[in-house]
Chain A
Amino acid sequence: MTLIRRHPFLYSSVVILILWSLMHFIAAWPFIPSPIKTLGFILTHAILLLSHLSISLLRVFASILLAVFVGGLTGIIIAKNKKADQWITPLVYALYPVPKIAFLPIIMLLFGLGNTSKVILIYLILFFQITLSVRDSVHHIHPLYYLSIKSLGADKKDVYRHVVMPAILPNLFTTLRISIGTAISVLFFAENYATKYGIGYFIMDQWLKMNYSGMFAGIIVIGTMGVALFLLLDYLEKKFCPWKAKT
């Protein structure tokens, strides 16, 4: 138990490796390659995989940053301004459940076939999650905190800096954890049109070439990218919300 607690990712890697090996040896399907062969592919094609990974990372980071900035700002505005709430919230509710992938033709026409349309597609999906999460976080700030900062002589800027921003941060990190899973799923889809770069493209390309070791190598890389993003979020949360770790 202590080993699992100390090294959770080592534990999950070992379990996945055992299940994968069992499936390879017992089922003996050609589309489940041996883990050793796949590892060999990763080592021999490391630079190629890294180049695809770096482009995927760039697209994910750009989408997340844009969604945090615009979604965060929109969430705060609709939470603090009744008129903005009346105008914007019904639109958010109406558009949130619509599958954004359905807008792909429009996005492609507006933003072209390059990186921008891929970033916009992922951003659109994350925007609604982040907007609503931030709006709810602002609504849940205890009135005592506003009263307290006001009693110290704070102006509006101080209220945002010392109360609103730190109060919404923990919930924002939780939403980002959920959003990362969504972002990577959409990334895989977005990298399957009009591009020859990105880990999503690489996986599909290897599948079409029936190179299953390459396909699995791509899956491992995209999975590792997800884990790395989760770890990065954990690190950022510890850095920016230290009170959560110490309470």
Chain B
Amino acid sequence: MTNDAHYRPLVSLKNYSLCYDTRTVFSNLNLELKTQSTYALLGPSGCGKTSLLYAIANLLPPNASIEGDKHLKKNLNISTVLQEYGLFPWKTVYENTILPLQLGQVNSPKKLPQDVQIKTMKLLEQLGLGEHKNHYPNALSGGQKQRVAIARAGLTSPDLLLLDEPFSSLDALTREDLQDQLKATLHQSDISLFLVTHSIEEAVFLAETILIMDDNGNIRNIINNSDYRQAQWRENNAYFLRIKQIRKLLKGDYDDTDSTPSLFI
């Protein structure tokens, strides 16, 4: 991949405003998401984080009105993992995972090409879901459901993976395990990540760039977290210092000198 390609944004929002009926969610927002980059969006509840993710993924409800420019890279392949996993209770683990490749095509996953079926099974095996392939979501734990949602999002080899509070309902150990797996997968691929989360620890562990949104839907700080790739990052002093710094910013001290808004338009 050339440097030029690397700096060409996957998603670009310019003076982008969003309203639901008469309520303004955010206005004049500027944002660029680049290839092979990972972003985390932090902010208080109800500030518009999920709406921004939905705007990028074209999932806004009919009562949303938009102003400004949104530009997506040509043939951009986006996969989204929703807050509540979004698995269908009437489909097995295997059927849920293979669904994106089945849409608009065949009635049964069994009629899909053999290589697609093998790829799906391989992905499920990698995520430790092989033996659960014929189970329905209600028979799975929260961690397993999350793995299925991630497997489904990863199956189409997306350019951009959008995650909305992906690990919020999981216990601490399962959450760390899934975060490790996701980070390793992202490092081995060209996939860019845009993560919406409430967890400062999660943002600092997974994202190269951390965006902080305020109550009014403005992106107030952009934190460069490029040292997140370091080994044993969770035990690193810099990791704890970054968490401390972000906690301070979230509490309203927006004048932190470490933030670098120039990364964006």
Stretch at the interface among A16-24, A50-58, A156-164, A180-188: A156-164
Report A-chain residues with C-beta under 8 Å of the C-beta of B100. 152-153
**For chain A residues 135-160, which have a beta carbon within 8 Å of chain B?**
144-145, 147-155, 157-158
**Complex contact B82–A167 (CB within 8 A):** no
**Complex contact B88–A145 (CB within 8 A):** yes
**Complex contact B80–A154 (CB within 8 A):** no
Does B113 interact with chain A (Cβ within 8 Å)? no
**For chain B residues 61-80, which have a beta carbon within 8 Å of chain A?**
79-80
Report A-chain residues with C-beta under 8 Å of the C-beta of B138. 243, 246-247
Closest chain A residue to B80, Cβ basis? A151
> With the chains together, A209 CA to B250 CA distance in Å?
89
**Complex contact A247–B89 (CB within 8 A):** yes
**Complex contact B103–A152 (CB within 8 A):** yes
**Complex contact B136–A243 (CB within 8 A):** yes
**For chain A residues 218-247, which have a beta carbon within 8 Å of chain B?**
241-243, 246-247
**For chain B residues 36-93, which have a beta carbon within 8 Å of chain A?**
57, 59, 79-80, 82, 84, 86-92
> With the chains together, A158 CA to B75 CA distance in Å?
21
In whole Å, how far is B169's beta carbon from the nearest beta carbon of chain A? 14
Does A166 interact with chain B (Cβ within 8 Å)? yes
Report B-chain residues with C-beta under 8 Å of the C-beta of A169. 90
Given contacts A147-B59, A153-B103, A162-B99, contact A243 B89 (CB under 8 A): yes
How many A residues, CB 8 Å from partner?
Answer: 24
In whole Å, how far is A173's beta carbon from the nearest beta carbon of chain B? 13
Closest chain A residue to B135, Cβ basis? A246
> With the chains together, A246 CA to B89 CA distance in Å?
11
> With the chains together, A246 CA to B82 CA distance in Å?
25
Main secondary structure of the interface of B (DSSP, over half): loop
Closest chain B residue to A169, Cβ basis? B90
A246 contacts which of B57, B86, B88, B136 (Cβ < 8 Å)? B136
Report B-chain residues with C-beta under 8 Å of the C-beta of A241. 90
**Complex contact A144–B86 (CB within 8 A):** yes
- Among B82, B89, B138, max chain A CB count under 10 A is at B89
- Interface 0/1 of A39-76, CB less than 8 Å to B: 00000000000000000000000000000000000000
**Complex contact A163–B139 (CB within 8 A):** no
> With the chains together, A85 CA to B212 CA distance in Å?
44
> With the chains together, A115 CA to B84 CA distance in Å?
51
Report B-chain residues with C-beta under 8 Å of the C-beta of A243. 89-92, 136, 138
**Complex contact B103–A246 (CB within 8 A):** no
In whole Å, how far is B61's beta carbon from the nearest beta carbon of chain A? 9
In whole Å, how far is B233's beta carbon from the nearest beta carbon of chain A? 30
**Complex contact B103–A144 (CB within 8 A):** no
> With the chains together, A158 CA to B79 CA distance in Å?
17
20 inter-chain pairs at a CB distance below 8 angstroms, sorted by A residue, are A148-B86, A148-B88, A150-B59, A151-B59, A151-B79, A151-B82, A151-B86, A152-B100, A154-B103, A155-B103, A155-B104, A158-B104, A166-B88, A166-B90, A243-B89, A243-B90, A243-B92, A243-B138, A246-B138, A247-B136
Partner-A contacts on B (CB < 8 A): 57, 59, 79-80, 82, 84, 86-92, 99-100, 103-104, 107, 135-136, 138-139, 152
Partner-B contacts on A (CB < 8 A): 144-145, 147-155, 157-158, 161-163, 166-167, 169, 241-243, 246-247
Beyond A151-B86, A153-B100, A162-B99, 13 extra complex contacts between A and B, CB < 8 Å? A144-B84, A144-B86, A145-B88, A147-B82, A151-B80, A151-B82, A152-B100, A152-B103, A154-B103, A155-B104, A162-B103, A166-B88, A246-B139
